[in-house]
Structure 1
Amino acid sequence: MCKTLNILLFFFLSFCSFGYTQKVKDTYSACEGTINIFRSNSFTLQFLGQKGNSNRFSQYPALKHITSGNQIWFSFVAPTNGSVSLEISSKRTGLRLIVFDAAENNVCTDISSGNAEIKRLLEPADVSVIGLSEHVTEAFQYPLQIEKGKTLHFVVIADHDHPEYIQMDFRFHSDDPGFSEYKSKEVNLKKDRETPSLIVQVRDKETGKPLVADLILKGVRKYDGMYNVSDLVFDINRKSKIEFYCDHEGYFFKDSSNIAISAEKDNLLLIELEPVRSGKSVQIGGIEFIPGTSQITENSIPKLNRLKDFLIINAMLNIEIQGHVYEPGEDNSFSGQKMSEARARRIMKYLTDHGINKERLSAVGYGNTKPIYKNPKTYSEEQANRRVEILIK
């Protein structure tokens, strides 16, 4: 399993099986599928092994010789004035790095038309490590200065068409000595003893021990933002519905939305994360299908993208996608078995269509043979039986 710190990645990807237009170019091997990096991090990514030539840089005389379509794109928006350094390494030689300054219009259009500015171009011969560093060599150029709110776009290019892995250490160095990459690292932000509180706790699900995790909260107004905490307390002045996104290295991500928060009493939000290891399975909530079909609902796309992002930044993991259905009064019908298999395959297709190597995935259906609730009494218990799980292989 790769050692990696979780980063938040957002892609806007789709394909025709779910009522969308297929856009293979929207994977992260092209500008349209750019991975967004929000803070300093170390992680592993995989080239998709794209074959054929790319004419993305045809408008740049200095780049016309670069034709390989085996690329990884990512971008970074500066939270303050500062500089960016990075180191990228691979087992193979033949790495190239181009850094573009984002233009005023759509950056992908501007790169295609030759209007985006090239800030750095690295293409040293016969090296497997390149980057931006104060220690300048043939393979390293100076870090890039960047102003608050500006965006840099990076593309790493392989001279081969193999699905190789790269290791990347990305660092943002702020000019503000008081800058923190998190909104707050304080555990207790409560200011008024008389008002109700929201108490957030992040715990290892197996041991109950605290985990200092990356946490994004939305829906609590002045406390919205990113935190790096195991325990967080703040005031609640009005009832609301919140959502959260939680990540920790070596654990499955966990998200939830529409959590009702009371303004009349204290609220406890317990986030239990499950460790990632071979043989471990976890339910991926929020993935739903149109009844009686394997069609994934549009509301499920964000959760599928989170699963995709998890696999991108944990590029050494292989998973088995497991489909389960709920059939009242049935042990396991032929149709239920086939439906569970079709749903697992549909999720696998979504992931492969959006850049995940199919060699890392398998899909199985269990029909109605492994219900969580053998005699469900509520709709939520029925939904728990009608689920998707992933197994780390």
Structure 2
Amino acid sequence: MKQLVLAVFCSIVFLNLHAQAYKLSGNEVVLEKAITFETGTANLTPESEETLAIIKQYLDDKSYISLLRIEGHVSNGNGQQLSEQRALAVCKKLVALGVDCKRLMAVGFGNTKPVADNSTPEGRAQNNRLSFFNAALRGRLIGGMPADGGGNVAGEVCM
């Protein structure tokens, strides 16, 4: 009985941690912790595991989201390819965690959508990011936007 109570308690705590780890802003899934990469690469850091698990749980809980767009953004002028590689790396990792590849789209925007001033280290750090957008619900695109959101599709997630 004690073990059952402990298991239920741990499950509730786990779910609450995940429920509080993101919020929705329009169609964007905003995460508390960023997904990070080794500098200048598309290699995920171990610190990203928890955030990736949150995205997986989000998709598991919201089966009606039929397409999540993962957008890669970078701060440097020649980073289009890196932004695509990073978005694709996140998709591949989510598939490895059990997410259906058909529910994911990797898109790169390079440095075309900065959110901060690129002339400071802090600004560049903010511009090097991943964004997650609900792109389709129950097979229907959201808000008249194309599934790719206007970015470059990084490659095939289902391989």
Contact 1:321 1:388 in 2 (8 A): yes
Larger Rg: 1
**How many percent of aligned residue pairs carry the same amino acid?**
29
2:121 is the alignment partner of 1:372: no
Decide which structure has greater strand share: 1
Contact 2:18 2:54 in 1 (8 A): no
Structure-2 change in CA distance of 1:301 and 1:366 (3 Å): same
Q: Aligned partners of 2:24 and 2:42: how far apart in 1?
A: 27
2:43 is matched with 295
Equivalent residue for 1:363, pick from 106, 110, 115: 106
Equivalent residue for 1:387, pick from 117, 129, 135: 129
Decide which structure has greater helix share: 2
2:2 is matched with 148
Equivalent residue for 2:56, pick from 308, 317, 321: 308
User: Root-mean-square deviation (CA), in Å?
Assistant: 2.9
Amino acid corresponding to residue 307 of structure 1 in structure 2: I
Contact 2:117 2:123 in 1 (8 A): no
Q: Aligned partners of 1:282 and 1:294: how far apart in 2?
A: 21
Q: Aligned partners of 1:246 and 1:346: how far apart in 2?
A: 22
- In the TM superposition, residue 323 of structure 1 has moved relative to its aligned partner by 0.3
2:69 is matched with 320
2:73 is the alignment partner of 1:346: no
Q: Aligned partners of 2:130 and 2:15: how far apart in 1?
A: 28
TM-score, normalised relative to structure 2 = 0.70
Q: Aligned partners of 2:84 and 2:15: how far apart in 1?
A: 38
Tell me which of the two structures has the higher relative contact order, counting C-alpha pairs closer than 8 angstroms and 6 or more residues apart.
2
Work out the number of aligned pairs and report it.
Answer: 130
Q: List runs of 5+ in structure 1 lacking aligned partners.
A: 1-146, 152-171, 173-180, 182-213, 217-224, 228-244, 255-272
- In the TM superposition, residue 381 of structure 1 has moved relative to its aligned partner by 2.4
- In the TM superposition, residue 347 of structure 1 has moved relative to its aligned partner by 0.4
TM-score, normalised relative to structure 1 = 0.30
Amino acid corresponding to residue 299 of structure 1 in structure 2: E
Contact 1:283 1:387 in 2 (8 A): no
Q: Aligned partners of 2:48 and 2:110: how far apart in 1?
A: 20
Q: List runs of 5+ in structure 2 lacking aligned partners.
A: 136-159
Equivalent residue for 2:19, pick from 244, 247, 251: 247
Structure-2 change in CA distance of 1:296 and 1:386 (3 Å): same
- In the TM superposition, residue 390 of structure 1 has moved relative to its aligned partner by 0.7
Q: Aligned partners of 1:149 and 1:274: how far apart in 2?
A: 35
Kindly provide the CA deviation profile for residues 165-203 of structure 1, in whole angstroms up to 9, marking residues without a partner as x.
xxxxxxx8xxxxxxxx7xxxxxxxxxxxxxxxxxxxxxx
Question: Structure 2 matches for 1:152-301, cutoff 5 A?
Answer: 245=17, 247=19, 253-254=21-22, 273-275=23-25, 280-284=27-31, 285-301=33-49
Q: Aligned partners of 2:59 and 2:18: how far apart in 1?
A: 15
1:69 is matched with none
Question: Structure 2 matches for 1:3-152, cutoff 5 A?
Answer: 147-150=1-4
Q: Aligned partners of 2:118 and 2:87: how far apart in 1?
A: 24
- In the TM superposition, residue 274 of structure 1 has moved relative to its aligned partner by 2.7
Contact 1:324 1:367 in 2 (8 A): yes
Q: Aligned partners of 1:358 and 1:226: how far apart in 2?
A: 24
- In the TM superposition, residue 283 of structure 1 has moved relative to its aligned partner by 4.3
Q: Aligned partners of 1:344 and 1:283: how far apart in 2?
A: 16
Q: Structure 1 segments of 4 or more deviating over 6 A?
A: none
Q: Aligned partners of 1:294 and 1:376: how far apart in 2?
A: 23
Helix, strand or coil at the partner of 1:291? coil
Contact 1:283 1:388 in 2 (8 A): no
Q: Aligned partners of 1:310 and 1:226: how far apart in 2?
A: 10
Helix, strand or coil at the partner of 2:92? helix
